[in-house]
Amino acid sequence: MRLYILHKTHYRYPSPVCESFNELRLHPLTNDWQSCESCFVSVLPTTQVRQYLDLNGNLVHHFEIPNDHSKLLIESRSTVGTQKRVDFDNLPYGATMKSLHEVEGNPNCRPYLQSSNFIDISPGIWRMAVDIQENSKDVFQTAYQIMEYIYLNFEYCVSTTSVNTHANEVLERKKGVCQDFAHAGIALCRCLGIPARYVSGYFYDPTRDQSMRGSGASHAWLEVLVNGSGWFGLDPTNNRVVDDNYVIIGSGRDYRDVSPVTGTYFGRLPESMKVDVQVKRLDS
């Protein structure tokens, strides 16, 4: 599938701000099942934009605007080719929960098994995870149940949480948006020893009535490592195994590692921040 994504972020400040330093993680990844044909990140007021690869392998654009400005417009336009990465008739069952100790020592997996900024490994969450696991002995099966549990029991609800809401709070209040659902899923998986990471990206809603969630904004979900088969994406917001309708920008331990726009500046809080994401299919 070829997808085109236009992602606009528009800040307006009540009075001019200055010394703005920002990092953008908006450039879709290229890997075995996704190729980013092009991605143009543009910034207004105009300034020089540079890029580097961060430790998680994500392409970061960064820029500074020293002079006074009262609005900041960040746009990215990406064209991405995606492939089906899962065979739905042949999901990666077979890795047992017992075998998880094999990955535990793998240094590449360590970060995805521990607590991080938004995620705690705690006995309370572990108990909840074990309840969800029931008698599943399979890694993928367990992760799938966790996704389904969140989808069925959590309320999707805008503006009850913020960009800084911790997984603990989400698990307790069972409310939130995709970022929160992903954090919750990651916390539950990690407590059971399943390596789980946070993925930021976009979702193309293939349904005619646009009934799915997350296609009008930047989306997030989690990926779990199934030993022997690799990473698999699970989207608790839509109860869906990630397929070629998803575009990955990047992944990390949690939101903090991949937040699309981060930065600092001198001045007052923005009076408005508008985010608009349009995902278009190019090849149909």
Partner 1 sequence: MNPNTFENYQTENFFDEMFGNSNDSNIFEFYKPIYDRITDLTESEFEQKKKQADSSFLEHGVTFTVYGDDIGTERIFPFDLVPRVIPDKEWQKVEQGLRQRILALNLFLNDVYHGGKIISDGVIPEEVVKTSAHFRKEMVGFDVPQDIYIHVCGSDLIRDEKGKYLVLEDNARCPSGASYLLENREIMKKTFPRTYQKMSVRSVEEYPEILLRSLENLTPRKLQKPVCVLLTPGVYNSAYFEHTFLARQMGIEIVEGKDLIAIDGFVYMRTTQGLVQVDVIYRRLDDEFLDPLFFNKNSLLGVSGLMDAYLKGNVAIANGIGTGVVDDKVTYAYVPEMIHYYLGQDPMIEQVPTYLCWREKDRKFVLENLSELVVKSANESGGYGMLIGNISTQKEREEFASRIKDNPRDYIAQPIISLSRHPTFCPHGVEGRHIDLRPFILYGEDIEIVPGGLTRVALEKNSLVVNSSQGGGSKDTWVLSN
C-alpha–C-alpha distance, residues 178 and 221, integer Å:
7
Both tokens of residue 255? 């939101």
Q: What is the DSSP string of 125-169?
A: HHHHHHHHHTT--BHHHHHHHHHHHHHHHSEE-TTSS-TT--HHH
Q: How far is the CB of 51 from partner 1 (least distance, A)?
A: 5
Per CB under 8 A, which of residues 35..54 are in contact with partner 1? 37-38, 40-51
Q: How far is the CB of 73 from partner 1 (least distance, A)?
A: 7
Residues in the interface with partner 1 (CB under 8 A) total: 22
Sequence-distant (≥ 6) Cβ neighbours of residue 28 within 8 angstroms:
5, 34, 36, 39, 78, 80, 201, 202, 247, 248, 249
Per CB under 8 A, which of residues 68..107 are in contact with partner 1? 73, 77, 79
Q: Indicate the residue among 10 and 256 with the shorter CB distance to partner 1.
A: 10
Q: Indicate the residue among 6 and 157 with the shorter CB distance to partner 1.
A: 6
Q: How far is the CB of 28 from partner 1 (least distance, A)?
A: 13
204: enclosing H helix or E strand: none
C-alpha–C-alpha distance, residues 70 and 55, integer Å:
32
Measured between its terminal Cα atoms, the distance across the chain in Å is: 9
Q: Indicate the residue among 27 and 190 with the shorter CB distance to partner 1.
A: 27
Q: Indicate the residue among 63 and 221 with the shorter CB distance to partner 1.
A: 63
Q: How far is the CB of 217 from partner 1 (least distance, A)?
A: 17
Q: How far is the CB of 65 from partner 1 (least distance, A)?
A: 9
Per CB under 8 A, which of residues 1..20 are in contact with partner 1? 6
Placement of tokens 């929160």 in the chain: 180
Q: Please report, as ranges, the residues that interact with partner 1 according to CB under 8 A.
A: 6, 37-38, 40-51, 61, 67, 73, 77, 79, 278, 283
